[in-house]
Structure 1
Amino acid sequence: MNTLYIVATPIGNLEDITYRAVRILKEVPLILAEDTRHSRLLLEHYSISTPMESYHDFNKEKVTPKYIDYLKTKGDIALISDAGTPGIADPAFNLVRECVRENIEVRAIPGPSAMITALISCGMPTDRFRFENFSPKKSAQRLHLLERLKENADSTLIFYVSPHHLVKFLEEIKTVFGEIPLALMRELTKKFEEHLIQTPSALLAHYKERTPKGEYVLIFHPQGKGGL
């Protein structure tokens, strides 16, 4: 039986990839990627010429049976995301689930993850944490989520946040939790990486002077533990 390899790739710095990941990407007959144009830069950097096809949120339901059949009858597949570890905030789960159901071997090739990279370098408690993925787009949904999380305030919370929603989300956190320490991590492993460990009010003042840009991970403990 062939194998589906879940291959972690860099979240910014192209040097953050393992020897094993490069070897697997070179050896498999097919790579599945969220955005083939984006992933082509990584493959070219490491002289990987393996054929690549798209696997993303908009086609996953349609093409998953095709790749299950490929794994059964043709060969191995390596699955990569745009950045980091597949299966975290991307469509990899669908293909992995079907492989498990069909008794197809799945092997993870570990590596970078934005949420773990942010968590271990921000000073917030790491013994218990909860990943909430991207914050909801609508304010009412975000407030409802924050109120619900406040009722179970025993874990550090991790969010991916769009720059378009960042300021409103900071205001909502201030409304629900008050002036607790927040860790706002931007552009992790990239040239302009930035760590801001401040209160909601201080961060709001910071972004009155500048427009949010880049990719953000926001971390805090509902009881105000860690950070400042």
Structure 2
Amino acid sequence: MAAHRSAPAVLPPALRVWLGLIAALAALMVVAIGVLYAGHGEPGTVDGWIQPAVDGVRPPWRNLALATDFLGEPLGAAALVVAAVTGCLLLRHPHAAVFVVAGAGLTVGTTKLLKPLVGRTIHGADNLSYPSGHTAFLTALALVVALLAAGRLGLGRTAGAVLVLGAALVAGAAMGWAQVALGAHYPTDVLGGWCTALAVVPATAWLIDRVPDAGRRDRH
């Protein structure tokens, strides 16, 4: 019987246990913050410490915040996803392209499901704020790209963890700062969005890696 080549894993084996623990803790954090601020329309204690130092920035920092915010808007987000998918296809890694779309899409979809469940608002009852979808999206995309890079470069656990966590921190901090600076979210909304990405992306990668294995078992 002919041998079947397995598709490259999108979740590097060296990072599976570490990311599994991180994902579990992140999911617990999302739930804990959601329960704490469910139905609220005012900043919490932690928000009160951070928000005054960040909110209401002026040019040129406001321009930078608006540019960063655009990356989470439909047009900007679509452009980033298309660029990442194109890169994956040029490298002949279709599973990576699926991971880009699924990782970002499921993360954003999760934030949209959580917002009405939590019911936290900002600037009026119609503006659901928890968790931050913009922060979740950019963090998720950064996580996906970092995981793919770690796998392609064959990084070990320490180097891979530094790359993946560093990418998530930079992307989450950049978009989180922009959201708070523009008054679109509370700092705890941003933390919730960041943790949502940390919970969803590793789970998505694990599921995608299971698909080709199931296909090969069916052929035998």
Could you tell me the TM-score, scaled by structure 2's length? 0.24
Answer 1 or 2: which has greater strand percent: 1
The structure in which a higher percent of residues are helix is 2
In our comparison, the structure showing a higher alpha carbon Rg is 1
